[in-house]
Amino acid sequence: MSQATTTPLIPDPIVWTDSQRAAQFERWLVTTAAQHHLQPDTLRLASADASFRRYFRINSAAGSRIIMDAPPERENSQPFVKVAQLMHDAGLHAPEVLAWDESLGFMLLSDLGSQTMMQVIDKAKPQANLPLYLQAVDALIRWQLASRPDVLPPYDEALLRRELELFPDWYLVQHKGLTIDKDMRFTLDNSFKQIIAANLAQPSVFVHRDFMPRNLMAPTTPGEPLGVLDFQDAVYGPITYDIASLMRDAFLSWEEDFCLDVTVRYWEKARQVGLPVGEDFGEFYRAVEWMGLQRHLKVAGIFARLTLRDGKPQYLADTPRFIHYIRSTCARYRELKPLLRLIDKAEGIVEPDIFGFGRQA
């Protein structure tokens, strides 16, 4: 997901499975190198993400640059370009689009550095990471303050429902091998209805949609803000979404006290600048938990799909983390207990058929 990782001592070779695309890239690079003073012999792989995009790093007379390889038949890069500009307008440290061949899907970007926030976090000392998280909070607030309607796609009921259906379709049926019977379907429908209603009740702002340490770049110089990446799926939706993403990361877990500490600091700062987070932190935190629940049900489905459809099994290694998030939230709220029982059965945590699944009267 992140476009930058630590540069190896020996550059990784760029492998092309399509000779025609390789030739297109070579022609594009020759022209772009001349215009932007690039050094083609320094080209190396930076990273690949969960989509069909790849990122290369290349040196130039003005420092290193990033090249995005996004085949247009697989990836629409227009949202990336649009949101990058929105982020720059909001004062965020996001990649600058220096050159773009829309028809071929090659893009030259400024380089935000080689270390993600995830790579510099001290997992053993939560409080030592507080300054980084507060920088992330500051970036998030700047992004949300720039919000206005009818600019980004709406995070509406239809989208929320499509995302939630990834959980039964891919995680329960395809990954766990379960058959969704009538009672399970009733529980899923009833739970999803409540989750969607809770999330749509929140005020709408610009939503990054993957605002987490893997997609935030550590500062390269003192005083520099965190860089923001992987924003092309941004939408206009619940204000709780990005803080839930930040503190309930699919790849990193913190104890509840640290999550509460950062979330309340975000809430206080957001209130001070007039963002619509409400006057009651308890109510806001409940809304964050319900938003996080929606996100982790979606993530479970996406990670199963990445494994089964796209041949990327590494993502399911984090299954225990987001199943824990899901179970913890469901256990905290009475109306989610039927969903908790369904999850427990799917995970083998309770004996089959001990509990019903919210049977219809």
pLDDT digits (tens, 9 = 90+) for 191-205: 999 999 999 999 999
**What pLDDT, on the 0 to 100 scale, is given for residue 2?**
42
3-state secondary structure of 55: strand
As a whole number of angstroms, the distance between CA 110 and CA 224 comes to 15
CA distances from 59 to 49, 65, 66, 189 (A): 21, 6, 9, 52
As a whole number of angstroms, the distance between CA 218 and CA 121 comes to 9
**What pLDDT, on the 0 to 100 scale, is given for residue 8?**
42
3-state secondary structure of 298: helix
**What pLDDT, on the 0 to 100 scale, is given for residue 192?**
98
Q: How far is CA 101 from the centre of its chain?
A: 26
Report yes or no: 46 and 55 within 8 Å, Cβ to Cβ: yes
**What pLDDT, on the 0 to 100 scale, is given for residue 261?**
97
**What pLDDT, on the 0 to 100 scale, is given for residue 350?**
59
**What pLDDT, on the 0 to 100 scale, is given for residue 128?**
96
Token representation of residue 120: 């510099």
Report yes or no: 339 and 183 within 8 Å, Cβ to Cβ: no
Helical (H) or strand (E) element with 204: strand 204-207
**What pLDDT, on the 0 to 100 scale, is given for residue 250?**
80
Residue carrying the six token digits 């899907």:
105
Report yes or no: 203 and 241 within 8 Å, Cβ to Cβ: no
3-state secondary structure of 100: strand
The pLDDT tens digits of the residues spanning 121-173 come to 999 999 999 999 999 999 999 999 999 999 999 999 999 999 999 999 999 99
**What pLDDT, on the 0 to 100 scale, is given for residue 51?**
66
Q: What is the pTM of this model?
A: 0.88
Token representation of residue 104: 């071929």
Token representation of residue 294: 């929606």
Q: What is the pLDDT along the chain (361 residues), one digit of tens a residue?
A: 444 444 444 556 788 999 999 999 999 999 999 999 999 999 999 876 656 889 999 999 999 999 999 999 999 999 999 999 999 999 999 999 999 999 999 999 999 998 999 999 999 999 999 999 999 999 999 999 999 999 999 999 999 999 999 999 999 999 999 999 999 999 999 999 999 999 999 999 999 999 999 999 999 888 899 999 999 999 999 999 999 999 998 888 999 999 999 999 999 999 999 999 999 999 999 999 999 999 999 999 999 999 999 888 888 888 888 899 999 999 999 999 999 999 999 999 854 444 445 544 4
Report yes or no: 128 and 232 within 8 Å, Cβ to Cβ: no
